[in-house]
Amino acid sequence: MRLASAGPFLFPVCALVMCVLVSCATDAPVDDPRAAGAAAHTGGRAAQPASIAPGVRVDRAQQAVTVEGMVVLNQGFLEQLVCTPGTRVHESLIAIDAAPRELHAALLLAGLEPGAPGRWQEVADAAGEWSVERVRPTGPRLDVSVRWHAPDGTAHEQPILEWVRRANAPGDPSAPSHGAAGMSPPGHLVFAGSRIRTNTRSMGPGEHYVADFTGSVIGLVTFGDEVIAYDEVIADRVDVDPAVWEAWSERMPPEGTRVELLIRAHRSGR
């Protein structure tokens, strides 16, 4: 799969994620998103939804984050649900305006603690037989919906997973067993939190937040660097798991439509 070129790394980093200025309950800037996470648990005055970066708002009382973006694909097979511009737009439904680290910081401010992305690898046993080992992502479960307005001004909101359907995949016995064609993915999304990696020599000293370079915001297949991950591991190689998920065009607005993602902590019965 094609990745975006990294380019020079221009932001300072911390042990958890790259620094991003955020507003906490005291309206003071927070340079370390770990401090943002701590602020989410310290009480203080009741806060209205706050803008912490362009196009990113946090409602701590509701444990919710909204992020602005645009529909970039409404037909074809998918590997991501959401990416950043110029990265995986050829296989994602939506591109958001914010940097992945800003979304991560917003989720921390909403009081959510990340888990870890999933991963997979091919392994051989003593007899030389190959199999796929899969480790599911961890993290708090999230409900992710898309809000948008039709040309006539009508407001719409729909779970993002309902914009995805299983395509007809005859002859794919190794495809994930998610049911018949036309079904949406039955799993759910979790705050995995991407990963921190040591910079390459060309990037200079320090660390980087991987999703800022790959563009993996909300995954469907498992690249292992998603901020928000689908909870079932689907390999990002079609020779391991054939492509079966595609955009549900009839449920989606046209490409270019401005949308808002609403990301909330899952509550049973919702």
Domain ranges of the chain: 22-265
44-58, 62-76, 126-140, 219-233 — which is least confidently predicted?
44-58
For 151-175, how does the pLDDT look when each residue is reduced to its tens digit (9 = 90+)?
999 999 999 999 999 987 544 544 4
Is the pLDDT reported for residue 245 higher than 90?
A: yes
* pLDDT at 92 (0 to 100): 98
For 10-44, how does the pLDDT look when each residue is reduced to its tens digit (9 = 90+)?
343 343 333 433 344 333 333 444 445 544 444 44
Is the pLDDT reported for residue 101 higher than 90?
A: yes
5 pLDDT tier (thresholds 50, 70, 90): very low
Q: Check residues 64 and 22 and name the one with the higher pLDDT.
A: 64
* pLDDT at 251 (0 to 100): 95
Geometric angle at alpha carbon 80, from 78 and 82, rounded to 5°: 125
Write the CB contacts of 148 (distance below 8 Å, at least 6 apart in sequence): 71, 155, 156, 253, 257, 258, 259, 260
132 pLDDT tier (thresholds 50, 70, 90): confident
* pLDDT at 268 (0 to 100): 74
pTM, 2 dp: 0.80
